[in-house]
Amino acid sequence: MSGPHPSTATIRYAVRSTLADLAPGDVVLVACSGGGDSMALAEAVAHEQRHASWRGGAVVVDHGLQPGSDDVAARAAGWLRDLGLDPVLVERVTVSDTGSGLEAAARDGRHAALDAVAERVGAAVVLLGHTLDDQAEQVLLGLVRGSGARSLAGMPAARDRVRRPLLGVTRAQCRESCEAEGVPWWDDPMNDDPAFTRVRARRAVADLEADLGPGVAASLARSADQLREDADLLDALADSAVRELGPGPWAAADLMALPRPVRTRVWRRLLVAAGAPAGQVGTRHTEACDALLTRWRGQGPLHLPGDLRAVRAGGTVTLSH
């Protein structure tokens, strides 16, 4: 008797490995859009729970961004129940673009909804269906934006209760698994709309694969894994440096003694701790602060996010409102 399709076996093994540490009775929620990636993930969770002590459920987030989105969400919920997942919940969110862009607003609303549902049902783990292709697109976007190592490190496989079992699985493998197992899915038309940055990144990766040969997406994802280790180490060193520096004002000499890759991270932490909104602190702000050390010419106070002021007076630097 033959086993499952190779793609199905790969996805099931990824899920089994990701959830190997769960305790009996733990609830696992699959965040499912009804697309091929998350439906392949849901099928694997439904299969693996038959041989496990944990219980698999799912949540479908309806962003309300398209006509008939409630019907799509209800249909996806029905597919998930047919797989044997329980509970299956549909969560409607209101997406309001407050200036960060529709994609970011939808992502924020989705994450908030997932957190709320996980708390409500007592889920130990929330699984997201991001694939190797998604990771490659994330790295490419970071390169285009000129971001640092943390952004180029892509999406982590696990953070808090959120886990991403499919970062080593391709989008094509997810479709193959769905077809092999007879699992339905739908293709979101927004995934083909070039108005969205993510769609343009997806097409760019496909173009690179066509022009440079297969393996570009895998290489980008592999680079993310390597950079994440570097970024984790630098973040740990920055956290330690902030603890040693203590509350301000800070001696310019003490800040200057830090290696620059650590110091730029320290600046960000000091700014956020002083009241700057984390989402508004960018490289230009940390670079301006660093110039108080490296290019000090008696310049006046820096105006920073959160109505902060950075001032160097003699040998000390102060952040204040």
Residue list for the binding site for ATP:
33-38
Structure token digits, residue 164: 């991403």
- Please say whether the beta carbons of 33 and 60 come within 8 A: yes
Which class for 225: exposed (0-12), middle (13-18), buried (19 or more C-beta within 10 A)?
middle
Distance CA 259, CA 248 (A): 19
193 Cβ neighbours under 8 A, 6+ residues apart: 199
Peptide bond into 87 cis (omega under 30): yes
Binding residues are 33-38
For residue 202, the number of C-alpha atoms closer than 13 Å in the C-beta half-sphere is 16
Q: What is the DSSP letter of 190?
A: G
Give 220-260 as a DSSP string.
Answer: HHHHHHHHHHHHHHHHHHHHHHHHHH-SSSEEHHHHHTS-H
Structure token digits, residue 231: 């970024």
